[in-house]
Structure 1
Amino acid sequence: MVAPGITGRTRPTKVKKQASLQKRKRHDVDTEKLEAAVEQLDPKTGEYKDFSDLPLSEFTKSGLKACHFAVMTDVQAKAIPLALKGHDILGAAKTGSGKTLAFLIPVLENLYRLQHQGADAGLGALIISPTRELAIQIFDVLRKIGRHGHMFSAGLVIGGKSLEAERQALSKMNIVVGTPGRILQHMSQTVAFQIDDLKMLVLDEADRILDMGFQRDVDAIIEYLPKERQTMLFSATQSRKLSDLARLSLQDPEYVSVHAEDKSATPKSLQQNYIICPLEEKLDTLWSFIQASKKSKIICFFSSAKAVRFVYESFRHMQPGIPLLHIHGRQKQHARLETTSKFSAAKHSCLFATDVAARGLDFPAVDFVIQVDCPEDADTYIHRVGRTARYNRDGRGVLFLTPSEEEGMLKRLEAKKVPIETINVRQKKKQSIKDQLVHMCFQDPALKYLAQKAFTTYTKSVHLQKDKEIFKLKEYNLEAYAASLGLPGAPRIKFLNDDEGKQRKKASRQAIEMSDDSDDDEPASKKVRTKYDRMFERQNQDIMADHYKKLVKDDDADALSKSKNDMLDGGDADEDDFLAVKRRIPADSDASEDVSDHEEGSIVPGGRVVKIQGASQPLVIDSNRREKLLKSKKKLLKHMDRGKKLVFDDEGNAHEVYELENEADFKAKGLPEVQRQRFIEEAKDIVQQADIEDKAAAKAKRKAKKDKRKERERAEAEVGGVEIDDEGVDALANFRADMEASEEEPEVKRPKKWFQSDSEEEPKKKKGKKGRHVHVEEPETLEDMEALAAGLLD
């Protein structure tokens, strides 16, 4: 027998590792006491305030204590006892009331009592969230609470991460937190994802998950799950529609609504206001608000991702003095995570976001929630404004409403018990940024493109809204809104076509003609159109269409006068044409009349004649754009005559650089081949003469250089050189005289070069035969003097 505590390993086992092995065995787990305590719970009559009042495991209590959770909120006090006893729950509570712990604690405790842990147990609890950010937040809370003793393996399954890595880990997971799309993908594609023994299903922000956006995915997930399970739904705005509950197969659910009797659907510490702001003044108001709140933490909600990107890029260029961040559904996963972490850690910042950040996200200490674009309904408003005033903290929400949205939106908020008051903007502090946006869009084509897409996506979002009592597209000033974004005009959008045009397109031409002839008040669109009517209305669209007929028919006087009268009368005859002719220019002699003979300021059929200096032809001003042309010297240069480059001959006469010779003079000189040969010979003579002159000049230059060198050498020999040409002169005597002279006049040392060091001595210069100066060392002995003299004589 091996002694207790001895593992049989040759090497000693670490104490920490040995303790973890004993911990995994779970021999000391006593689930019977917890089961008995849970059976004694009375959720309806019992009052529970602290987490210590509930029968929880020691590991869960340690996790709650480490996270400083002691007192339960209202929704936690009512939902957790019911969930511990295994009831299905429909939970509705205000934003920031602690709904996450209300379902995470039952998940941990129920699986712990069942000992549903380990790789062989399979999936025990599935938590579904509508957004990736909320799923990450739920997983972080689960990890913080459950890491103090629980041995469950939990995983996060969201889009934007490695699918293969998730597949390898899913076979060992007991608790999975994820989004509907990625969970459904694993259910249909991952073989090792075992869900047959699922115990609990949790839907956070259930109203968003059960709507049309996720209906298909949720229905497919429910088909995979077993029928015998515990289901919990939590949201700030919970619906009790029977159709939704039937889809989830709930069994006698308990409805937990702790704030149903409150006068307000939002926290009491939240101050809510709205501003009547026209569409074209929203960006000015938002910029002025950010300038006045630089020491705050702000979230600004928009209706589209393109609007978020445009406002972020434009405001970032203008440098408001506060850190700017943006988040939307088109971003990559790592960028969204980085943005949420930065905004959570920031003390002062401004976050531009879409509704992807409107639900469930817990950003600490948010001061303001600004809803620049009107939310689609009151539930979305509640979720947006719930990012502030969380956990009994103060907060403020501001809603921007256009005059056409005010009445309908206030009715919806009143029905949801949302108290909101109107406030006014101080016009003295309001700043206009329209000129800056125009300048930036003119300089940066990418920013202009973002402005166009922001306009298009906002208009489309309003057009697709279901509640037409709030969103009335025809009452928006879209031209002014486009100008407020820095655009020169509103971009063309297909769905903004007139509804009457669509009705005219669908209606029968024959019915329209009959309605014109008849005296009935019934419109043509309400009359019955048979298939025979449509059959006889068909025509060859290639050659018989109306716009083609207008292009090919003769322009007679009657047609011209008719079109002219239609334009003068403001008729709509050509309004729906594919190619409408706005102005016809007759192709006769009068139309091609030269305006150069007219005086300046005279009126011609095309407009007013203006003569500019330097132009042979005057300009015809026929529009405001041409009028502005006169103020730009750069643009006027294009209309001026081009100058000619002149050269002057020997006599001082000016000629053009290239002049064409007269044809008669050219023929008089002979045939082209003869002239070409003559030109080659003349050029050859010129080149030879120039070559002779160049050689003579080079020879003279070399001779002058040689003479100059000889003169310099002669002067140097007279000053200090050694003459050895005469044979009768004693060379040794001359050498000694030179040495004595050199001792009397100390040699001036030259400065050292950049590449010489201090220890380097100057190279000794030799003295040549032609009088060049040579520096030699002073002889010390008679033998040195004889060797030196012999060298000089040689």
Structure 2
Amino acid sequence: MAQSNGPRNGKHAKSTQRTNSLKRKRVQEDFSSLIQRVENLDLKEPYKAFTDLPLSEPTLSGLTSSHYKHLTDIQSRAISHGLKGRDILGAAKTGSGKTLAFLIPILENLYRRQWAEHDGLGAMVLSPTRELAIQIFEVLRKIGRYHHFSAGLVIGGKSLREEQERLGRMNILVCTPGRMLQHLDQTAMFETYNLQMLVLDEADRIMDMGFQKTVDAIVGHLPKQRQTMLFSATQTNKVSDLARLSLQDPEYVAVHETASSATPSKLQQHYVVTSLPRKLDVLWSFIRSNLKSKTIVFMSSGKQVRFVYEAFRHLQPGIPLMHLHGRQKQGGRLDITTKFSQAKHAVLFSTDVAARGLDFPAVDWVIQLDCPEDADTYIHRVGRTARYEREGRAVLFLDPSEEPVMLKRLEHKKVPIERINVKANKQQSIKNQLQNMCFKDPELKYVGQKAFISYVKSVYVQKDKEIFKIKDLNLEEFAGSLGLPGAPRIKFIKGDDTKERKNASRAVAYMSSGDNDSDAEGGEKKAKKETPQVRTKYDRMFERRNQDVLAGHYSKLINDDGTLVETTKATDEADEDDDFLSVKRRFDAGDKELEVGGSSDESDSEPEPEPKKKGVKLVSLDGKDPLVIDSKRREKLLKSKKKLLKFKGKGTKLVYDDDGNAHELYEMEDEDDFKAKGDAKEQRARFLAEETERTRVADLEDKEVVKQKRREKKEKRKARERELLEEEENEERLAQLPPTEDNDRDQFSPSEDEAPRRSKKQRVREESESEEERRPKKPTKWTAPKEIQTLEDLESLATGLLG
């Protein structure tokens, strides 16, 4: 039986308990010391390093591992107030480190409260865009890796059910307002009654009209006793906004309020005055001149971003192109931001979703193709470059109508900006290339039309009408610069005209719509309105624009030789488009006016026709009777090839003779011409006689050709026979010569060089003869010689007898 080791185990258990108790005691002492240091924290003292602040060991370890050592101005002032639990309004320049200014107080306050999973949600961070929320969450993961809190990212574009299952166990949430409100309304197990901290990053954007109702609804679900912090580069100071968030004695931390500029000091800011139709040309020229740079191009709408990206991608500028807008899927947006962050040289076309908070490393240029809605948006856009005391450059494109007022707005916000001019010799025009691409690709043309409408709408809805004057923009030329054949119809602008006409006085409307006609009897003048013309659904259908979008018949506008169809001037008066790529096919109508009820060829004895009716025209169709155009429906008929077929003659099939001349397959003679040549029977007899004579002559010619071929063949055969005869005679002569006379024999035998060359037929014939000689011959019937005279005759007789 094994010896018991109980006492030894007891000693070991006591030592372990003693060690654990000492560890708990040391942790409790450190925790009490941390609380005491936070209470004794001097808010006016400037701190330079994170180790100077009363921070917990897990937070300091996370900061050290993430290579954060020194404090920025906003961090030095805001973190101390945040550790004290005070409400904060933080304002600092872009790229100054505002993210850590609210993440560190969140971790420290929950740590000092010993927050655990069963305590529920302790802190919430609201971000206006998904990309910024992802960036905040990544920073939180880095510096909070040694804490035991659970953190979650709640943004749109992901599965709602998966978020609902995990939401109840989260201590810290980074979210966008829309998805957070959705969870507050629909997720049953999600409770916020114990929330300690609420943070609004880019608070001025969240508090504006776009998120106002959403934020009000979210705040309604949260407890009023909480710590609230607002951070932005351009902070809101409205009392109404602060009251909505229930801020209690907030501390306004504006570290750069007294600075001479609201933008980073190492940021070079310029603007270019260029008309709206020339913006794409200047942008293309800029990209071609800066292929070794990293550039962000801001535009006002997602449809513009997509069109410019697709168009420039086809033109291939020689640098990677990317695009980012709010209508993309979340996975694609995340991939694009990651690729652009890792790229060394690239161009990113983006809307304002990338204007706030995003930290793209080493951005060289920020181009604002469209004027920002206000100076605050300008500050946030240019803040994507020159971050963390690095250098950067920004260029703003301004239309001449936008220049004076926009410069005043920027000057009021302490934004130093200088004007620069574009070198004319370096500009390249891409208007013709865009027109060619839009003509060949209907989908690109459709995207261009949507981009045009979205830009005009973005200008139309702006609040600052002193900057954005839509009537001062040359929209027709702008549509041409996008490659469009004409400016698409814009309903909301025509709606303004309708309101003006509706609000105009009755006298003006009466004078403009009526005509003054004299009354023959009373001499009084009365205003008579014109009879309104009846418009059918077909009239409205043919008046629609962009009917050819994504249609296959656009290629019919090209002639057989590859040239474009020239549009005629005889177009419908109701057509307001002067498109150079018009899809409407028309026939030239003459200026003739028909007499209704009679013809001009009628005799004078017939009654006179009715007066002429204006607007009636004649159109000739392939030599047939002219088509009368006396109504709008008939005029619409000219646009359809299919409907015009019944008014045209039948088509003729052409064939080509041996000389390449085209003529009809069956050429029928005119009946009058046929009768003029005589009686049908006589013509038939004459035709048969001519054909008989032609056949006889052809037969004689054919017989003569056959005789000639036979004659040539006979002459060739005789020539071959003569050659064979000469060869046999030469062989006999050689055989009669004595063997010593080699020289004499040689003179009769032709040399190899002098021997005549035999034809192929001769060689084939000789080979066949040699084969016949080699074949075993059949035994022939032997006949005895008539008379035996020599020894040879006797030998042959004996051989024959022996069989």
Quickly name the TM-score band, shorter chain normalised. 0.5 to 0.7
Distance 1:437 1:550, change over 3 A: closer
Aligned partner of 2:124 among 102, 126, 135? 126
1:588 to 595, 613, 616: 595
In structure 1, the residue matched to 2:174 is: 177
Output aligned runs, 1:380-779, within 5 Å: 380-497=377-494, 499=496, 501-507=498-504, 509=506, 512-513=509-510, 546-548=531-533, 586-588=593-595, 642-644=651-653, 657=666
Contact 2:364–2:393 (8 Å) recurs in 1: yes
CA gap 1:655/1:331 in 2 versus in 1, 3 angstroms: closer
The superposition leaves residues 699-730 of structure 1 with CA deviations (integer Å, 9 ceiling, x where unpaired) of xxxxxxxxxxxxxxxx9999999x9xxxxxxx
Q: Give the match for residue 203 of structure 2.
A: 206
Q: Distance in 2 between matches of 1:593 and 1:439?
A: 49
User: Residues 488, 26 of structure 1: CA spacing in aligned structure 2 closer, same or farther, 3 A cutoff?
Assistant: farther
Q: Does 1:341 align with 2:333?
A: no
Evaluate the alpha carbon distance shift between residue 444 and residue 196 of structure 1 in structure 2; reply closer, same or farther with a 3 A threshold. same
- What secondary structure, in the 3-state scheme, does the structure 2 residue paired with 1:404 have? coil
Q: CA deviation at 1:298?
A: 0.0
Instruction: Tell me the equivalent position of 1:157.
Output: 154
Measured in 2, the distance between the counterparts of 1:43 and 1:646 equals 101
Counterpart position of 1:739:
none
Given the alignment, which residue of 193, 196, 199 partners 2:193?
Answer: 196
Unaligned runs of 5+ in 1: 8-20, 518-543, 552-571, 576-581, 595-604, 621-637, 649-653, 663-714, 724-794
Matched, 1:40 2:40: yes
State how far apart, in whole Å, the 1-side matches of 2:648 and 2:120 are.
Answer: 82
CA contact (8 A) 1:123 1:173 kept: yes
1:775-794 paired onto structure 2 within 5 Å: none
Number of positions where the alignment pairs a residue of Structure 1 with one of Structure 2: 571
User: Aligned in 2, Cα 1:288/1:590: closer, same or farther, shift over 3 Å?
Assistant: farther
Residue in 2 that maps onto 1:98: 97
Higher alpha-carbon Rg: 2
C-alpha distance 278-510 of structure 1, shift in aligned 2 (>3 A)? closer
Aligned-partner residue type, residue 595 of structure 2? D
Residues 618, 429 of structure 1: alpha-carbon distance in 2 compared, 3 angstrom cutoff = farther
Contact residue 646 and residue 657 of structure 1 kept, 8 A = no
- The SS at the match of 2:395 is strand
Q: Once the two structures are superposed, what CA deviation does each residue of 1:590-634 show, in whole Å capped at 9, x if it has no partner?
A: 99889xxxxxxxxxx99999999xx758999xxxxxxxxxxxxxx
Q: How much has 1:480 moved relative to structure 2?
A: 0.7
CA drift at 1:506: 4.0
1:305/1:619 CA distance change after superposition, 3 Å: farther
After TM superposition, give the deviation of residue 492 of structure 1 in Å.
1.1
Shift of 1:66: 1.0
1:320 to 299, 302, 317: 317
Counterpart of 1:142 in structure 2 is 140
- Per the TM alignment, residue 183 of structure 1 is displaced from its structure 2 partner at its CA by 0.6
TM normalised by structure 1 equals 0.66
What corresponds to 2:545 in structure 1? none
Deviation, 1:117, is: 2.1
Deviation at 1:496, TM superposition (A): 2.3
Cα offset, 1:508, TM superposition = 6.0
* Alignment RMSD (CA, Å): 4.2
Match of 2:114 in 1: 115
Is the CA contact (8 Å cut-off) linking 1:616 and 1:641 kept in structure 2?
no
TM-superposed deviation, 1:351: 0.1
Deviation at 1:640, TM superposition (A): 11
Q: Is the partner of 1:28 in helix, strand or coil?
A: helix
Partner of 2:65: 66
Do the aligned residues in 1 keep the contact of 2:297 with 2:349 (CA within 8 Å)? yes
Q: How far is 1:47 from its partner?
A: 2.0
Q: SS in structure 2 opposite 1:403?
A: coil
* Percent of aligned pairs with the same amino acid: 60
Distance 1:389 1:4 in 2: 66
**d(CA) in 2 for partners of 1:511, 1:583:** 38
- The equivalent of 1:83 in structure 2 is 82
Q: 1:498 and 1:189, CA in 2 relative to 1: closer, same or farther beyond 3 A?
A: closer
Once the two structures are TM-superposed, the CA of residue 550 in structure 1 deviates from its matched residue by 9.9
- The structural deviation recorded for 1:583 is 12
Q: Secondary structure of the residue that 2:393 maps to in structure 1?
A: strand
The CA distance in 2 between the partners of 1:56 and 1:655, in whole Å, is 100
Q: 1:117 to 1:502 in 2, by over 3 A?
A: same
CA offset digits 1:31-77 (Å, max 9, x no partner): 21111000010112x12111010010111111111111111000000
State the alpha-carbon separation in 1 of the partners of residues 384 and 469 from structure 2: 28
Does residue 244 in structure 1 map to residue 241 in structure 2?
yes
Read off the aligned partner of 1:33 and give its amino acid letter. Answer: S
Distance 1:427 1:152, change over 3 A: same
Aligned equivalents of 2:535 and 2:483: distance in 1?
38
1:220 aligns with 2:217: yes
Cα distance between partner residues in 1 of 2:357 and 2:300? 18
Aligned partners of 1:607 and 1:428: how far apart in 2?
A: 55
- Look up the match of 1:13: none
Task: Name the aligned partner's letter for residue 533 of structure 2.
Answer: Y
In structure 2, what is the Cα distance between the partners aligned to 1:123 and 1:90?
A: 23
Counterpart code for 2:418: E
Distance 2:664 2:97 in 1: 94
Deviation at 1:92, TM superposition (A): 0.3
For the 8 Å contact 2:300–2:370, the answer to whether it is kept is: yes
Q: Secondary structure at the match of 1:280?
A: helix
> Is the 2:593–2:615 contact (alpha carbons within 8 Å) kept by the matching residues of 1?
no
CA displacement at 1:586 relative to structure 2: 4.5
- Equivalent residue number for residue 541 of structure 1: none
Q: 1:444 to 1:174 in 2, by over 3 A?
A: same
Q: Is the 8 A contact 1:585 1:591 kept in 2?
A: no
1:732 aligned residue: none
Deviates further, 495-504 or 324-333: 495-504
Local SS of the residue matching 1:176: strand
TM-aligned CA distance change 1:89 to 1:645, over 3 Å = closer
Cα distance in 2 for partners of 1:417, 1:655 equals 83
Q: Distance in 1 between matches of 2:664 and 2:71?
A: 102
Shift of 1:512: 4.6
Offset from partner CA, 1:392-439 (integer Å, 9 cap, x none) = 000001000000000110011011000000000000001000111011
Task: Please state how far the C-alpha of 1:502 moved relative to its aligned partner.
Answer: 2.7
- What amino acid does structure 1 have at the position aligned with 2:128? P
2-side partners of 1:293 and 1:591: how far apart? 74
Partner of 2:361: 364
Q: How far 1:574 sits from its partner (Å)?
A: 14
Deviation at 1:655, TM superposition (A): 9.4
Query: Structure 1's 512 and 481: CA in aligned 2 closer, same or farther, altered over 3 A?
Result: closer
1:219 partner SS: helix
Q: 1:257 aligns with which of 250, 254, 257?
A: 254
* Contact 2:594/2:618, CA 8 A, preserved across alignment: no
Structure 2 distance, partners of 1:313, 1:272, is: 28
Instruction: Give the conservation status (yes or no) of the 8 Å contact 2:275–2:400.
Output: yes
Structure 2 distance, partners of 1:514, 1:442, is 44
Taking the aligned partners of 1:656 and 1:317, their CA distance within structure 2 comes to 48
Q: 1:435 to 1:592 in 2, by over 3 A?
A: farther
- Following superposition, the deviation at residue 547 of structure 1 comes to 2.5
